[in-house]
């Protein structure tokens, strides 16, 4: 028996059943495509709007097969990782490329837990009206403030000397300073050799290399939990170092130690959202990193990109949509009306998947399982499955539109006591491990991203003074 998940074997069974069905259904549907070795640049490809088809880099972090409906992290099928692994182990795998040995794993978990202490960052964040802010805006700001906590930049020894203040005396408030910090801020990514040494001997400098990865993976989850609490009019809760990443996240959000089932569901959701190829937010964070900015700015860019309703914001919209439908009897009429108005149905369709999203395959039975324990979720699940039938029936064959990861995740989060406005932040908390892993990998052979646009404008316009323009 799997010792790690011995209290939640029934959930492991649900995952294995879903993955067996998925594998049988997609057997023979297109093979895996790998370059099989060094890529010879430049490569030829056909590029469409939204950079569709463009190849931006080589990567060993993860692979999405949109025809087969498969998702691989570092060679491991995400179905197996959900069944047997944990979010901490998956984060290690994504960052370092291989599964940890028992001692490596203990060290890694301890380091992550140490980085749960974000009290300085929280104090700073709470000086803003977090309760009135979009949670993703607060999370993005918090991610930037984490930089202060773990980086030497901005800390006391790098603050300007008193002599640098302009017009300062003992009683005055310093108003202007010589910007010493900026001299250092742009070089936070360590050189390749130093990063390799840190990776190999497990040591790291808190300001550079892998340090910010740990700080952001652990820190954003504590910040998201605190943001949720403050929005509900409560004080943030101190982290617990003895809990797993998933359990601590739920504990800090709800103030209750989660049951093994709740912890496992959160853990599986975190694993499923950890990485997904060159999606918009991953690309955004890599673009920022490629300028040799720093990991905190890179993750901040990822959070910003994830916020949009076409990306991470969709699961919140799904719950709103299901609430708007309200009754199972209304599903067909609502869907017909949506089609007439050419509306996009939230939680369906994907740029890459032209098959059932493997993440949705796992989330569906978990949502059903939780629905059995909660009437509200059961009601939502019923509407969702009816809507899925309508959408797939009409658009599945013709346009290859199937449920994506966002369709069933919201329901699960709601059953864990997470309100809809926090869903995207929870997605970000998980995706930080993919963003940081891909940034670290790209930096090994960094080249600044700089695509081109095809100019379709005019030439030879003659400037007219304002008064002559009608
Ligand atoms: N509902 C109805 N029709 C759809 C949907 C949908 N959800 N998604 C795509 N289509 C249709 C489009 O109308 C279009 O039809 P047309 O060719 O007749 O004009 C065709 O399918 C292609 O759609 P595009 O928008 O061009 O596909 P693209 O690859 O650019 O977009 C996207 C993918 C953004 C995910 C899109 O499917 C969508 O908006 N889905 C709803 C939002 C959503 O669920 N986002 C979460 C994505 S997963 C994630 O980011 C974690």
- 406 counts as catalytic: yes
**Which pLDDT band holds residue 188 (cuts at 50, 70, 90)?**
low
Q: What is the pLDDT of residue 28?
A: 74
Q: How many angstroms is it from 464 CA to the middle of ligand 1?
A: 42
Find, among 426, 442, 154, the residue nearest to 298 by Cα: 442
Residue-wise pLDDT for 98-143, tens only, equals: 999 999 999 999 999 999 999 989 999 999 999 999 999 999 999 9
Please tell me the total number of residues recorded for the chain in this structure.
470
Which atom number of ligand 1 is nearest to the Cα of residue 273?
Answer: 51
Mutation to probe ligand 1, out of 344, 358, 388 (largest number of atoms < 8 A from CB): 344
Catalytic residue among 267, 350, 357, 375: 350
Sequence-separated (6 or more) residues with CB below 8 Å from residue 234: 255
Q: What is the pLDDT of residue 204?
A: 54
pTM, entire model = 0.89
**Which pLDDT band holds residue 457 (cuts at 50, 70, 90)?**
very high
Give, using CA atoms, the residue closest to atom 44 of ligand 1: 347
Cα 185-190-192 angle, rounded to 5 deg: 150
Q: How many angstroms is it from 366 CA to the middle of ligand 1?
A: 25
**Which parts of 55-195 are beta strand (E)?**
62-65, 70-73, 76-77
Residues with CB under 6 A from ligand 1: 50, 310-312, 314, 344-351, 395, 399, 401, 404-406
- Domains in the chain and their CATH numbers? 314-415 (1.10.230.10)
Q: Residue 99 carries which DSSP code?
A: P
**Which pLDDT band holds residue 197 (cuts at 50, 70, 90)?**
low
- 77 counts as catalytic: no
- 242 counts as catalytic: no
Orientation angle between helical segments 358-371 and 9-26, nearest 10 degrees:
140
Alpha helices, DSSP H, located in 291-418: 295-306, 314-325, 331-340, 358-371, 375-391, 397-399, 405-415
Q: How many angstroms is it from 409 CA to the middle of ligand 1?
A: 18
Residue-wise pLDDT for 75-89, tens only, equals: 999 999 999 999 999
Q: Which of 171-185, 292-306, 379-393 has the lowest mean pLDDT?
A: 171-185
Residue-wise pLDDT for 308-352, tens only, equals: 988 888 888 999 999 999 999 999 999 999 999 999 999 999 989
Cis peptide before 42 (omega within 30 of 0): yes
Sequence-separated (6 or more) residues with CB below 8 Å from residue 360: 402, 403, 404, 405, 407, 408
Q: Residue 392: exposed, middle, or buried by beta-carbon count in 10 A (0-12, 13-18, 19+)?
A: middle
Cα 300-113-146 angle, rounded to 5 deg: 25
Mutation to probe ligand 1, out of 349, 360, 404 (largest number of atoms < 8 A from CB): 349
Give, using CA atoms, the residue closest to atom 15 of ligand 1: 399
Orientation angle between helical segments 87-96 and 423-443, nearest 10 degrees:
30
């Amino acid at each position: 028996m799997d010792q790690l998940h011995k209290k939640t074997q029934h959930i492991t069974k649900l995952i294995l059943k879903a993955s067996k069905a998925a594998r049988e259904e997609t057997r023979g549907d297109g093979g895996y495509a790998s370059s099989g070795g060094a890529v010879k640049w430049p490569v030829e490809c056909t590029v469409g709007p939204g950079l569709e088809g463009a190849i931006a880099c080589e990567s060993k972090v993860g692979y999405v097969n949109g025809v087969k409906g498969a998702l691989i992290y570092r060679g491991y099928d995400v179905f197996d990782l959900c069944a047997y692994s944990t979010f901490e182990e998956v984060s290690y795998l994504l960052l370092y490329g291989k599964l940890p040995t028992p001692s490596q794993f203990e060290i890694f978990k301890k380091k992550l837990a140490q980085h749960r202490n974000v009290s300085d960052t929280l104090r700073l964040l709470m000086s803003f009206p977090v309760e009135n802010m979009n949670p993703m805006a607060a999370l993005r700001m918090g991610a930037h403030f984490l930089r202060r906590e773990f980086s030497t930049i901005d800390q006391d020894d790098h603050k300007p000397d008193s002599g640098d203040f302009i017009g300062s005396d003992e009683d005055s408030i310093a108003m202007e300073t010589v910007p010493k910090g900026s001299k250092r801020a742009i070089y936070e990514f360590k050189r390749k050799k130093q990063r390799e040494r840190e990776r190999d001997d497990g040591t790291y400098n808190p300001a550079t290399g892998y340090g910010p990865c740990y700080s952001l993976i652990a820190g954003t989850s504590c910040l998201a939990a605190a943001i949720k609490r403050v929005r509900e009019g409560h004080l943030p809760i101190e982290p617990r170092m003895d809990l797993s990443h998933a359990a601590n996240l739920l504990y800090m959000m709800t103030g209750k130690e989660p049951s093994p089932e709740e912890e496992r569901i959160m853990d599986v959701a975190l694993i499923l959202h950890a990485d997904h190829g060159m999606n918009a937010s991953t690309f955004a964070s890599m673009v920022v990193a490629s300028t040799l900015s720093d990991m905190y700015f890179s993750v901040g860019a990822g959070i910003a990109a994830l916020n949009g309703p076409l990306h991470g914001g969709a699961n919140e919209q799904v719950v709103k949509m299901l609430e708007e439908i309200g009754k199972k009897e209304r599903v067909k009429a609502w869907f017909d009306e949506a089609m007439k108005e050419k509306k996009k149905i939230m939680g369906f369709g994907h740029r890459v998947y032209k098959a059932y999203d493997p993440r949705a395959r796992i989330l569906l039975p978990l949502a059903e399982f939780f629905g059995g324990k909660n009437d509200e979720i059961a009601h939502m699940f019923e509407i969702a499955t009816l809507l899925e039938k309508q959408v797939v029936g009409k658009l599945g064959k013709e346009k290859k539109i199937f449920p994506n990861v966002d369709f069933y995740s919201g329901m699960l989060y709601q059953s864990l006591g997470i309100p809809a406005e926090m869903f995207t932040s929870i997605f970000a908390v998980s995706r930080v491990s993919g963003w940081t892993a891909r940034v670290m990998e790209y930096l090994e052979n960094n080249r600044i991203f700089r695509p081109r646009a095809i100019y379709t404008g005019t030439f030879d316009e003659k400037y007219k003074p304002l008064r002559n323009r009608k």
